Structure 1
Amino acid sequence: MPRQLEVGVVALGLPKCYKPSGGSATMIGCAVAENGDLQHSFVFIQETIERYRSHTRIHNTPTTSESAENTQRLKEEVENMMKRIDLLEISKRKLLGGGLGSCSIDELQRMEQQLDRSITKIRVKKAEVFEEQIDQLKEKEKTLFAENTRLSEKYGSYSSQQAKKDDRKNIAEAEPILDVETELFIGLPATRTR
């Protein structure tokens, strides 16, 4: 159930409030002073809204001639679109190689020029894509090189010590092992005995 509104209206500097009684519809009370006489007026909001809606429907509904014109215009647009679609389908078939026997030499030359332009555009686009990929790979190379340098500096002392150990180990492994007996004698060579 809608609430009833209590409305105050200032008329000639005197506020007057009225709360309408009875009825479930929402009403607005208004006090207006004319020539010293106070007049009260209550308005049902729902009725006002309905009057507004009916009034706007009457003035906003298109006339039959306007709707007929709109319908005719839309039909013409549909016909034009259908013609364009048919022409595009015929052109597509011809470009794909179908129905070329019925084409004149001029049409064939135009199609050849159109295909040449299309191929040129495709090659240019392909070259642009390849250049972008090359640029991206170069950037990635720079990033990886910088990271490699940073890691080399970070682990440089450790790796250089490890490299020296590995070098010594590799040298030792590379030389053949010879059994050499060395004896140390102190004294004259003649006094040596075995």
Structure 2
Amino acid sequence: MDCGKFATVFQGGCMRKALVLLIIAAFLLGGATFASCETSAASNYKKANALFSSARYKEALPLYESILSSPSEKIPASDVYTRIGDSYYRLGLYQNAIYAYQGAIVNQDRTVQPGTRYWIGFCYFLLRRHDQAASEFLKIPELYPEAGMWVGTAYYWAGRSCEQQGKKELARQYYKKAGGNGKSTQGRFAMKKAEAVRSKERVQGTGYSSQ
């Protein structure tokens, strides 16, 4: 073989080998980095949950948020968002909690979503944004009619939200829906609320005070 050709072939072979080695090294490095991120995320999640359980919500929040910035396949983002929302809720930062719960609900399993919707609505209620609260509560029976107790609970708090706005008739209707057949403790309580609203309307209609 011509020496020039041999040198060219030899150099080409070396370059290909070097390229293959670089690809393998990059793959191994990437795998190691991914494994390191997974370990770090799992460690932070464990620490954050321990802090949360100890009611150290301010300390838990940065750890939860660090997991979102470096996502882990083993820790669902919806679970992390929920924990962030719960932390903000317990700190009384209801608007921040709403943002977190809204992030959680995007990829949540359908069976979990009614509870998250409820907490969004309840945060609005605590912020005295009663129109938004009622709207959020009413999404539960509309979107998840199979959600059992969440449906009755949602109607009850929609009633409370409407009552706060002075929408007495709407409030009474929602209380009645929350009451269902009136056999459960919650149902009986909701039916009493509906009757109380009607009684107030009657008293106000006569022009007399109930006091």
TM-score by length of 2: 0.27
Rg: which structure is higher?
1
Bigger share in strand: 1
Bigger share in helix: 2
